[in-house]
C-alpha cells in the first residue's frame, strides 16, 4: 500500500501512516499476521490514552533508563513489531547503553529471525543475538517453542527491555528473577501488570524519550539512579495511566468527539 | 496457525480462537491485512466493553431489525472481516428479511471479491451483488476506488446494514439519504457517530441476536415497528455504551484485573 493513499486532511492521518508501515513489514516477513492484530489493539488503547506521552508514561521511561544504566548485562528484546517501528532507535539505545540486541519472537521462523536481524544490521547493529540455533536456552515454565532465548542474551541478563511482549513470557522472565521493563499501551495486560516497569505509551513516542533519558542519566551518580528505582512504584504508575484513560473516555463521551472535527 | 495452539485455560482463549480464524482468512484471501489491524482495535474496545452484549447494544439491535423489516430495498453489506466471522449469519439474515447481499470492500481486488462471493455461496447464498464489473455505481463525495457500489444494491437501497465500515463511506451513504445501520465496537468512530443505528457490540455476538429480533418483529404490525424507530435515539445509545466502557475501565483499574485471575 502506498503512502499517497493517506489524505493529509484525514483525521487519523498519523495513525494510518504507521498502520501502512507495519502492513508493509508483513510483506517483508518482519511482522507476523498476529502482530497486525496486536498493533490494532494498541491503536485503540492509544486513542483512548490521547495519543501522547503522559506523566506516568514519563516516570516509567525515567525508571527504565535508570535500570538499563545500572544493569550488569542489559538486553533489548526485538520482535517483529518493534523492528518494523523502531529498528534505528533500538540500535541507538543499544550503543549508548552497552546493551545487546536479541531477536525474541512469539511466532518463531528462521526466515523472520533473519529478516529482523538484517533490518537491525541495516540500521547499524554490529551483533544480533537470538537468531536460529543461537536461541538454545529456555524461559522456565513455558512449554512451547515460545520459551527459546539466547544463553548469551536474555537467559543470563539481569535487566531485560521487552516491549510489546506476550503475558506468559513476561511472567516467565519475572519468575526467573530478571528485572523486566516493557512498553504496553494496555495497562491491564498481563505483561503490563507483571513487569517491573511498564511504559504505557506508543513505542514510537517512547523510544526517543528513553534514548534522551539514558543520555541524561548516564552522567548521574549510581546512588541517584538507585533512588529513582527505589522510589518507582509500577502499580501506582499503572493506576495513573488507567485514570487518564478513564477520564479521557469520559470527556470524549461528553463532547461526542469526531462530529465537531473539521474535515 | 492451528487451534490446538490455544490452551483451554488461557484467560483469553475465546478471543484467541476468533483471532486465529480471522488470521486464516487472510491466507484464504478473504481478509485484507488492514482488516487484521481493524480486528485488533475491535478486540481492545470489546475488552473494555466487557465482551458481552449490553443494554444499549440490544436497543440498537431491535431498532436495526425494525429498519430492515420496514425497508423497501434493504441491503446487507459484506466485507472481508464480516465474511470471515459471520458468513452463515448474513445468508440467514438475508433470507428471513428478503435483503440482498453485496460485497463491499475498502481494499477492492477482484480476487478478494470472488473469494467472499464463494464463501457466501458456500454458506447458502443464491445471489451476491457487488462483484467485479457489477460495482459500477458511486458513493457521492468519495474520490477513490472506495466509492464503488452495485447499482442494483447499495446504490438504490433505502436501508443499508454496513457493519465494520469505514468512516468516509458511512458518511457518504448517510449524505445520499440512506438509513445506515452498523456494528462498531468503537462508539467514537466516525462510522459509529454518523450511522442512524450503531450496534456497539462484537459482530459475532450481535448477529444471532439480530436474526432473532427480525424473526420476532416480522409478526408485529408496521405501526409498532415505526414506533420503535421513532423512539430510538442513536446519540443516547452511543452515550450509554460509552458510560458502560468508562465504568468498566474504572472498576478494572480499581481491582487491578488479571493478577487475581486463576490461570
Q: Which of residues 46-65 of A touch B (CB under 8 A)?
A: 47-48
The grid cell for B18 is 476468533
Residue A30 covered by a domain: no
Q: Is residue A42 part of a domain?
A: no
pTM of the model: 0.89
Does A4 score more than 60 pLDDT? no
Average pLDDT for residues B177-204, to the nearest whole number? Answer: 96
CB contact under 8 A, B246 and A242: no
Q: Inspect the interface and report whether the beta carbons of A257 and B193 lie closer than 8 Å.
A: yes
Q: Specify the CATH number for the domain of residue A143.
A: 3.40.50.12640
A23 interface with B at CB cutoff 8 Å: yes
Residues 6+ apart with CB under 8 A from B79: B35, B103, B104, B105, B106, B116, B164, B165
pLDDT bucket at A13, cuts 50 / 70 / 90:
confident
Convert the pLDDT of each residue in B9-31 to its tens digit. Answer: 566 778 888 999 999 999 999 99
Residue A23 has its nearest CB partner, among B19, B33, B246, at: B33
- pLDDT at B226 exceeding the cut of 80: yes
- Integer angstrom CA distances of residue B158 from A61, A101, B148, B161, B164: 53, 58, 17, 10, 19
Looking at the complex, report in whole angstroms how far the Cα of residue A228 sits from the nearest Cα belonging to chain B.
24
C-alpha cell at B189: 468512530
Residue B45 falls inside a structural domain: no
> Is B188 within 8 Å of A11 when comparing Cβ atoms?
no
Residue B110 placed within a domain: yes
For B116, the 3-state DSSP assignment is helix
Give B 169-208 residues with CB within 8 A of chain A: 186-190, 193-194
Q: Which of B38, B188, B253 is the closest to A257 by Cβ?
A: B188
Q: What is the mean pLDDT of chain B?
A: 90
Would you call A239 an interface residue with chain B, using a CB distance cutoff of 8 Å?
yes
The enclosing H or E element of A46 equals helix A33-49
Rounded Cα distance between B163 and B89, Å, is 13
* B262: contact with A, CB 8 A cutoff: no
A44/B44 Cβ within 8 A: yes
Q: Is A4 on the interface with B (CB under 8 A)?
A: no
The β-bridge partners of B128 are B101
Q: How far apart are CA A7 and CA A108, in angstroms?
A: 36
Residue A62 belongs to some domain of the structure: yes
Q: Is the pLDDT of residue A262 over 50?
A: no
What ipTM is given for this predicted complex? 0.87
| Domain presence at residue A32 | no
Residue A42 sits at the chain B interface (C-beta within 8 Å): yes
Put simply, whether B109 touches A (Cβ < 8 Å) is no
Pairing of strands A137-138, A148-149: antiparallel
Residue of A nearest to B261 (CA): A190
In-domain check, residue A253: no
Packing angle between helix A33-49 and helix A13-27, nearest 10 degrees? 170
- A123: containing domain: 55-241
Phi, then psi, of B182 in degrees rounded to 5: -140, 165
Nearest chain A residue (CA) to B37 = A40
Measure B190 CA to nearest chain A CA, in Å: 6
Does residue B263 lie within any of the structural domains? no
pLDDT tens sequence across A239-257: 999 999 998 888 887 765 5
Number of domains in chain A: 1
Residues of A in contact with B47 (CB under 8 A): 188
Tell me the shortest Cα–Cα distance from A224 to chain B, in angstroms: 30
The chain B residue lying nearest A38, using CA atoms, is B40
Residues A42-45: contacts with CB within 8 Å, 24+ apart?
A: A42/A164, A42/A185, A42/A186, A42/A202, A42/B40, A42/B44, A43/A15, A43/A19, A43/B37, A43/B40, A43/B41, A43/B44, A44/B40, A44/B41, A44/B42, A44/B43, A44/B44, A44/B45, A44/B186, A45/A185, A45/A186, A45/A245, A45/B44
Residues in chain A with CB shorter than 8 Å from the CB of B44 are 40-45, 186
Chain A residues close to B189, C-beta within 8 Å: 258
Contact between chains at B40 and A45 (C-beta distance less than 8 A): no
3-state SS, residue B181:
strand
Q: Grid coordinates standing for A200?
A: 504505557
What's the pLDDT tens digit per position in A161-219?
A: 999 998 889 999 999 999 999 999 999 999 999 999 999 999 999 999 999 999 999 99
The strand pairing partners of B149, in sequence order, are: B137
B227-249 residue pLDDT tens: 999 999 999 999 999 999 998 88
Number of C-beta neighbours around residue B126 at 10 A? 11
pLDDT for A263 equals 30
Amino acid at each position: 500500500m502506498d503512502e499517497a493513499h493517506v489524505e493529509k486532511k484525514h483525521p487519523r492521518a498519523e495513525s494510518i501512516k504507521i498502520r501502512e508501515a507495519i502492513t508493509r513489514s508483513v510483506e517483508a516477513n518482519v511482522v507476523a499476521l498476529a502482530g497486525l492484530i496486536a498493533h490494532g489493539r494498541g491503536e485503540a488503547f492509544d486513542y483512548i490514552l490521547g495519543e501522547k506521552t503522559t506523566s506516568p508514561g514519563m516516570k516509567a521511561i525515567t525508571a527504565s533508563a535508570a535500570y538499563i544504566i545500572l544493569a550488569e548485562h542489559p538486553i533489548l528484546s526485538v520482535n517483529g513489531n518493534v523492528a518494523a517501528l523502531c529498528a534505528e532507535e533500538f540500535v541507538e539505545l543499544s550503543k549508548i547503553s552497552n546493551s545487546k540486541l536479541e531477536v525474541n519472537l512469539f511466532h518463531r521462523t528462521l526466515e523472520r529471525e533473519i529478516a529482523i536481524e538484517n533490518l537491525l544490521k541495516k540500521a547499524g547493529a554490529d551483533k544480533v543475538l537470538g537468531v536460529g540455533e543461537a536461541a538454545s536456552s529456555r524461559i522456565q515454565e513455558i512449554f512451547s517453542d515460545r520459551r527459546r532465548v539466547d544463553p548469551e542474551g536474555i537467559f543470563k541478563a539481569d535487566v531485560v527491555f521487552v516491549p510489546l511482549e506476550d503475558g506468559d513470557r513476561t511472567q516467565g522472565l519475572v519468575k526467573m528473577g530478571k528485572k523486566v521493563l516493557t512498553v504496553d499501551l494496555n495497562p491491564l495486560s498481563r505483561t503490563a501488570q507483571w513487569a517491573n516497569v511498564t511504559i504505557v505509551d506508543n513505542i514510537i513516542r517512547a523510544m526517543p524519550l528513553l534514548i534522551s533519558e539514558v543520555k541524561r542519566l548516564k552522567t548521574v551518580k549510581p546512588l541517584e539512579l538507585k533512588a529513582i528505582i527505589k522510589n518507582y512504584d509500577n502499580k501506582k504508575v499503572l493506576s495513573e495511566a488507567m485514570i487518564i484513560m478513564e477520564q479521557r473516555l469520559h470527556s470524549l463521551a461528553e463532547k461526542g468527539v469526531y462530529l465537531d472535527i473539521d474535515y
